[in-house]
């Protein structure tokens, strides 16, 4: 039976990640990087496309699971008639090769456990040749090689003693079976390396577990956020850290591809890349929690990725800054719950989205304000981007939602052009020694502001629209007060919040990005050029909570935030979207944007509550 998206938990080593279901099956893993081909692709097909199930004999779903403390080490407890066991899944932060470690420990009684490892390289397409050598099972196909070994340990901690593991090949899979009593353990270690290279050094699974826990404890101990919902905030920060490609500092939008925005639909995209527009909010989330080092790595990745001709700026890049991300369909995968096609690569990388210029400049402004050590070429880069935007901001584009319909004058894109000019003016006002023409950027800022208020605002409905002359609304308009384009108490802002809430809200303030109704646009095409619909976009619902908070409706903002927190799965993770009718998460998982939104709203609420307490104290005095 297909696992729900929210039935999965995440493990990873800061270079790639895997999804483990409540049934004990590891159904998605790309090696050696986030954007590499998957060796387990059952998530987007079936078991024949690769998976690794480790569970007690006859058991279908676990009794409970959780991360151990503030870490990415997953513990799953299984209850059976004969006893109980715990499975610990993690990926050690690698020295050389990526490893997946799965440790079974007997808790009560005596439990028989089965392992089925079905490797399928190239997204479930290639069956490897498996041989037995030196106590290992070795699977090889083309450039990929994977080694599997088991390391039993007795109840007194003696490695090599304890349970006897029987392993054999069956139906193009590697099967194992063993029984554990209280205190006995069996660790499986799966290691990848390029097939033309020798096997990398073996890791001690039990020592690696201790080191992994120490690594996560050291990282989370530096978190400075102490406000309400600290557990949820820290889990989101851990998730953002897990989506970071450590060698470069880039952060992928999600570790998966093609999880659908509508079950059975075609809105299935590859999110294993780094979006520039995430930069401002990612930096904000990291800086708000005191993670200056991570923010610095992300800032440095950003500067490397966007270096070059401003006209060539991409909306997304590969995790090392790659610019070419051609989109391809994989016809041998049926898609999650038959949601085809399955895509790898993303053609949206070639779109013109003018808002990213504002987001890049805003993120670098934020980095400077937070006290990150300045980079000598960062300001020159911003001036170059501004010079290009000055000539291009009047043009139509595809907008932040990457619509595959006709280009339009999207209001959010124009607002972010205003942000770019505004942040340049602010920077020059704070440091007049920097080169630049503040008067020129003020003039641009004023012109953009006038045009948006004239052409992007509907006075009859008292709301900003999605694009010039359109009746459609867009949840991105909720960011207008957040970026400072208009003050929160401006009647146009208040009207926009109410209009978006009324027209794009589903089942209690779960906000869609924009309408996907069947109505045709003036050009005779849908807004995004795609059939079908989608769920409520979770970050947009967090934006609504932020807008409510900014407009003084603190109680409503807090209630919405609590409602959104309740959508997290049992281990605190959020996908991209939510279907309030089916009560299911949708889209790629876990989604950085959703967790960035959670952190941002939590921080804003904590600041608002601190201000309220301070005022209350002044009144009492």
* Beta bridge partner(s), residue 514: 474
pLDDT tens sequence across 340-363: 999 999 999 899 999 999 999 998
Backbone angles phi and psi of 416, in degrees to 5: -70, -25
Looking at residue 280, what is its pLDDT? Answer: 73
Tokens of 78: 């299984």
* Contact present, 417 and 389 (Cβ < 8 Å): yes
- pLDDT band at residue 617, thresholds of 50, 70 and 90? low
pLDDT tens sequence across 65-115: 999 999 999 999 999 999 999 999 999 999 889 999 999 999 999 999 999
What SS3 class is residue 456? coil
Backbone angles phi and psi of 273, in degrees to 5: -130, 180
Among 557, 555, 577, residue whose Cα is nearest residue 567: 577
| Burial of 434 per CB tally in 10 Å (0-12, 13-18, 19+) | middle
- pLDDT band at residue 616, thresholds of 50, 70 and 90? low
Looking at residue 620, what is its pLDDT? Answer: 56
Instruction: Tell me how far apart the alpha carbons of residues 574 and 602 are, in angstroms, rounded to a whole number.
Output: 15
CB neighbours of 263 closer than 8 A, spacing ≥ 6?
A: 336, 337, 339, 579, 582, 584, 586
Residue 478 reports pLDDT greater than 60: yes
pLDDT tens sequence across 212-239: 999 999 999 999 999 889 999 999 999 9
* Contact present, 360 and 315 (Cβ < 8 Å): no
Looking at residue 524, what is its pLDDT? Answer: 36
| Burial of 438 per CB tally in 10 Å (0-12, 13-18, 19+) | middle
Instruction: Tell me how far apart the alpha carbons of residues 125 and 167 are, in angstroms, rounded to a whole number.
Output: 24
Please state, rounded to an integer, the average pLDDT across all residues of the chain: 93
* Contact present, 587 and 259 (Cβ < 8 Å): yes
- Rg for the chain (alpha carbons), in Å? 25
83-90 and 99-109 as β-strands: parallel, antiparallel, unpaired? antiparallel
Looking at residue 526, what is its pLDDT? Answer: 57
pLDDT tens sequence across 102-159: 999 999 999 999 999 999 999 999 999 999 988 899 999 999 999 999 999 999 989 8
Residue 618 reports pLDDT greater than 70: no
Among 326, 344, 327, residue whose Cα is nearest residue 335: 344
- DSSP for 197-237, written as a single string: SPPPPPP-HHHHHHHHHHHHHHHHTT----STTHHHHHHHH
Backbone angles phi and psi of 565, in degrees to 5: -60, -35
Residue 285 reports pLDDT greater than 90: no
Looking at residue 523, what is its pLDDT? Answer: 43
Among 411, 414, 401, 410, residue whose Cα is nearest residue 529: 401
pLDDT tens sequence across 552-597: 999 999 999 999 999 999 999 999 999 999 999 999 999 999 999 9
Among 322, 331, 327, 320, residue whose Cα is nearest residue 348: 327
| Length of the chain (residues) | 621
Tokens of 214: 């120490």
pTM value? 0.95
* Beta bridge partner(s), residue 138: 131, 147
pLDDT above 90 coverage of the chain, percent = 80
Looking at residue 511, what is its pLDDT? Answer: 96
pLDDT tens sequence across 515-549: 877 544 444 345 777 888 899 999 999 999 999 99
Instruction: Tell me how far apart the alpha carbons of residues 404 and 327 are, in angstroms, rounded to a whole number.
Output: 14
Q: For 607-611, which contacts have Cβ atoms below 8 Å and span 24 or more sequence positions?
A: 608/549, 608/554, 608/557, 609/227, 609/228, 609/554, 610/227
Looking at residue 11, what is its pLDDT? Answer: 98
What is the number of other CB atoms lying within 10 angstroms of the CB of residue 566?
A: 7
> Could you give the residue ranges of the DSSP H alpha helices within 436-513?
438-455, 491-504
What is the number of other CB atoms lying within 10 angstroms of the CB of residue 550?
A: 21
What SS3 class is residue 411? helix
Q: What is the DSSP letter of 612?
A: H
**Residue 272 or residue 619, greater confidence:** 272
């Amino acid at each position: 039976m297909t696992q729900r998206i929210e039935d999965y938990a995440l493990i990873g080593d800061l270079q790639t990640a895997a999804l483990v279901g409540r049934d004990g099956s590891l159904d998605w893993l790309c090696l050696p990087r986030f954007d590499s081909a998957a060796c387990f692709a059952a998530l987007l097909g079936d078991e024949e496309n690769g998976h690794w199930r480790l569970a007690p004999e006859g058991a279908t779903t676990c009794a409970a699971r959780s991360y151990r403390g503030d870490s990415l080490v997953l513990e799953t407890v299984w209850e059976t008639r004969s006893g109980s066991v715990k499975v610990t899944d993690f990926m050690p932060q690698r020295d050389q090769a990526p490893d997946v470690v799965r440790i079974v420990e007997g808790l009560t009684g005596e439990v028989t456990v089965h392992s089925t490892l079905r490797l399928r390289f190239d997204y479930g397409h290639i069956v490897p040749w498996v041989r037995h050598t030196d106590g290992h099972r070795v699977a090889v196909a083309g450039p990929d090689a994977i080694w599997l070994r088991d390391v039993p340990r007795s109840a007194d901690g003696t490695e090599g003693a304890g349970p006897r593991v029987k392993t054999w090949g069956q139906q193009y899979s590697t099967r194992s079976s063993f029984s554990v009593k209280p205190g006995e353990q069996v660790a499986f270690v799966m290691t990848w390396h390029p097939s033309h290279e020798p096997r990398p050094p073996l890791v001690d699974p039990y020592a690696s577990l201790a080191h992994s826990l120490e690594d996560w404890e050291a990282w989370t101990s530096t978190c400075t956020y102490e406000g309400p919902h600290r557990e949820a905030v820290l889990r989101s920060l851990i998730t953002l850290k897990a989506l970071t490609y450590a060698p470069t500092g880039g952060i992928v939008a999600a570790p998966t591809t093609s999880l659908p925005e509508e079950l059975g639909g075609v809105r299935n995209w590859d999110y294993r890349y780094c979006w520039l527009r995430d930069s401002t909010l990612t930096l904000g989330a990291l800086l708000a929690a005191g993670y200056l080092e991570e923010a610095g790595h992300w800032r440095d990745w950003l500067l490397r990725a966007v270096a070059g001709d401003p006209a060539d700026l991409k909306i997304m890049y590969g995790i090392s800054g790659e610019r070419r991300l051609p989109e391809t369909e994989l016809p041998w995968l049926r898609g999650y719950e038959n949601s085809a096609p399955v895509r790898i690569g993303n053609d949206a990388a070639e779109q013109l989205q003018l808002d990213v210029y504002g987001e890049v400049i805003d993120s670098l402004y934020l980095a400077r304000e937070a006290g990150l050590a300045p980079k000598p070429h960062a300001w020159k880069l911003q001036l170059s981007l501004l010079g290009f935007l000055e000539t291009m901001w009047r043009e139509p584009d595809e907008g932040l939602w990457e619509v595959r319909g006709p280009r339009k004058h999207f209001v959010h894109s124009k607002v972010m052009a205003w942000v770019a000019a505004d942040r340049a003016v602010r920077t020059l006002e704070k440091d007049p020694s920097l080169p630049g023409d503040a008067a020129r950027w003020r003039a641009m800022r004023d012109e953009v502001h006038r045009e948006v208020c004239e052409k992007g605002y509907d006075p009859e409905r008292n709301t900003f629209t999605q694009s010039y002359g359109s009746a459609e609304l867009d949840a991105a308009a909720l960011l207008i007060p957040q970026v400072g384009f208009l003050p929160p108490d401006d009647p146009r802002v208040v009207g926009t919040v109410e209009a978006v809430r009324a027209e794009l809200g589903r089942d209690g303030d779960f906000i869609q990005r924009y309408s996907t109704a069947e109505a045709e646009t003036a050009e005779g095409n849908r807004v995004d050029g795609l059939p079908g619909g989608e769920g409520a976009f979770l970050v947009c619902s967090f934006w609504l909570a932020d807008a409510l908070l900014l407009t003084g409706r603190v109680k409503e903002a807090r209630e919405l935030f609590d409602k959104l927190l309740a959508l997290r799965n049992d281990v605190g993770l959020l996908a991209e979207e939510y279907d309030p009718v089916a009560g299911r998460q949708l889209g790629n998982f876990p989604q950085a944007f959703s967790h960035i939104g959670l952190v941002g709203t939590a921080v804003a609420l904590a600041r608002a509550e601190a201000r309220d307490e301070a005022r209350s104290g002044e009144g009492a005095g």
